[in-house]
C-alpha cells in the first residue's frame, strides 16, 4: 500500500510480520528501540517482527509499505489507526 505520512506515528510492533518501508517522496525517520534510521527517496528499511518502532516525518512523505493484507498498522486491531482508501 502507498501512504502519505506527516508527523509522528505511535510506538508499536508487529508480532507476526516484518515491516517494509520504501520512501517514494520526502524524508522519514524510523525510530526503533535499537536506534534510528533516516530514509530519503529511493531508500528502504525492513523493521523485523517484534521490534518497537515509529515512523516520523517532519514534512509530508509518501511511502510504500509491504505487509500481509489485513495487518493492523499498529500491530493490534484494537489500536489501529483508520486506513482511508483513495
Q: How far, in Å, are 35, 58, 59 from residue 67 at the CA level?
A: 22, 24, 24
Q: Quote the mean pLDDT of the chain.
A: 86
The proportion of the chain whose per-residue pLDDT surpasses 90, expressed as a percent, equals 65
Nearest to 58 by CA among 20, 10, 2, 9: 9
Q: Which three cell numbers stand for residue 82?
A: 483508520
**If pLDDT is split at 50, 70 and 90, which confidence band does 55 have?**
very high
C-alpha cell at 10: 505511535
Domains of the chain listed by start with CATH number: 2-64 (2.60.120.10)
- DSSP SS3 for 12: strand
Q: Are 84 and 73 in contact (CB under 8 A)?
A: no
Residue 31 has what pLDDT? Answer: 97
Amino acid at each position: 500500500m502507498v501512504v502519505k505520512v506527516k508527523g509522528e506515528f505511535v510506538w508499536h510492533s508487529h508480532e507476526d510480520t516484518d515491516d517494509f518501508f520504501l520512501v517514494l517522496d520526502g524524508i522519514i525517520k524510523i525510530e526503533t528501540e535499537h536506534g534510528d534510521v533516516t530514509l530519503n527517496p529511493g531508500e528502504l528499511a525492513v523493521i523485523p517482527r517484534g521490534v518497537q518502532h515509529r515512523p516520523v516525518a517532519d514534512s509530508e512523505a509518501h511511502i510504500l509499505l509491504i505487509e500481509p493484507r489485513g495487518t493492523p498498522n499498529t500491530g493490534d486491531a484494537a489500536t489501529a489507526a483508520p486506513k482511508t482508501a483513495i
